[in-house]
Amino acid sequence: MEIRQLRYFVVLAEELHFGRAAAREHIVQSAMSQQIQRLERELGVRLLNRTTHHVELTPAGAAFLVEARQILDHLGRAAHAARNAAAAPPTLRVGIIDAGYDSMPQILREVQRRHPELTIHQVEAGTPEQYRQLADGRLDVGIGRASQVPAGVVSELIRLDPLGVLIPDEHRFAGLAAVPVRDLAGESLLMGEDTETPEFNQFVVELCREAGFRPTIYEGTVESTRAAADLVLQHRCVLCVPSSFRTSTRPGTTWRPLTEPAATYPWSLLWRSGEPTAHVAAVLDAARRLADHLGWLTVGGSHPDPPSRQETAEDQAR
C-alpha cells in the first residue's frame, strides 16, 4: 500500500468523480483508476461502486475513508514536526552532579565558545540517575566517577581531582597545609544520600579504612554541596570534597587537601555507547583540550594513588 494510493482514494471519495479527482492530483484519469484498483486488490474489498455516470462509496470504502484520512493527517503532522526540528537550534542535554563543581561548567563554556548556536540544558542529577537518563535518551552526556558503568554507557577519564576537606576557618585543621587522612577519625563526616552519590561515599569510606579507621558519619543529609557548607559553618561536621569545589566555597570556610595518603577523585564523561553524536563529540573534544591545557590528568606532582582509590583510564575503559 502506497501513500499516494491513500491520497488518491481520499480525493476521489471527496469528489466522487474520477475526472475531477485526477485533475486535483494533476494526473490522468486512467492513472487514478489504476491506483484505486490496485488498492482494492491489495485490501481484498471493493471501496467504490462505479457506473458510467456515478461513483459512490461502499460500506467498506466509508470505513476505510475514516482511517485513511487519519493516516494522512498523522503523516502531515510528522512532516511538520520534522521541518520544525530541522529549523530549531540544536540542543544538548548535559548531566551535572552539583552546580558547585567546576569541571563541567568549564567544559561547557569551551563548547559554547566554539559552538555558539548550540542550546545547552543542564540537568542536576547523581551518577546513578544520569545512567538512567542516558539509557532512555533524556541525557546526551553526563559526568561522574565511572566505577560501575552499566552496559550501554561509555566513559572517558578527564580529570584526577585532588580530594580535600572543607572546614570552618576556626577549625583545628585550618592551620595545616594538608590534613592527614587518619586525623579525620575524630571528625563527623557529612555524606550524600547513598541513592544519589554512592560512588563518592564509597570512595571516601574506602580512603578512611585504608588509613586504619572507620569514619563517623553525620546523621543528617542535605540536597546539595552548597547546603552542606552551611552545616560546616555551624561546626557540626566536615565535608570531604574535591578541589574543583573550592571556587564555590562559602565565606568562612577553608579547603585543605588530604594527605597520607593523598587521593584524587576520578571524573569521567559519560555517554551512550556507539559513535558519539556531533554534539557529544564537541563536549569530548572540549574536555580533552582543557585536560591537556590545565593538567587535569597530571594532578600537579602528586603521586599516583592505589587502584582502590584512583581508577586509570584503562580501568574505566574495561
C-alpha distances in Å from residue 186, one per residue of 151, 198, 232, 274: 40, 23, 15, 47
The domains found in the chain, sorted by start residue, are 3-87 (1.10.10.10), 92-317 (3.40.190.290)
pLDDT value at position 201?
92
SS3 12: helix
pLDDT band at residue 99 using 50, 70 and 90 as cut-offs: confident
Which three cell numbers mark 119? 542550546
pLDDT value at position 88?
64
pLDDT band at residue 98 using 50, 70 and 90 as cut-offs: confident
Which three cell numbers mark 253? 570556610
C-alpha distances in Å from residue 300, one per residue of 47, 296, 297: 79, 8, 9
pTM, full prediction: 0.66
pLDDT value at position 301?
38
Residue 209 and residue 192: Cα distance in Å, rounded?
Answer: 18
Which three cell numbers mark 12? 476521489
Q: What is the mean pLDDT of residues 172-193?
A: 93
pLDDT tens-digit profile of 238-272? 999 999 986 556 789 999 999 999 999 999 999 99
pLDDT tens-digit profile of 276-290? 889 999 999 999 999
Q: What is the mean pLDDT of residues 169-186?
A: 95
pLDDT tens-digit profile of 70-87? 999 999 999 888 887 676
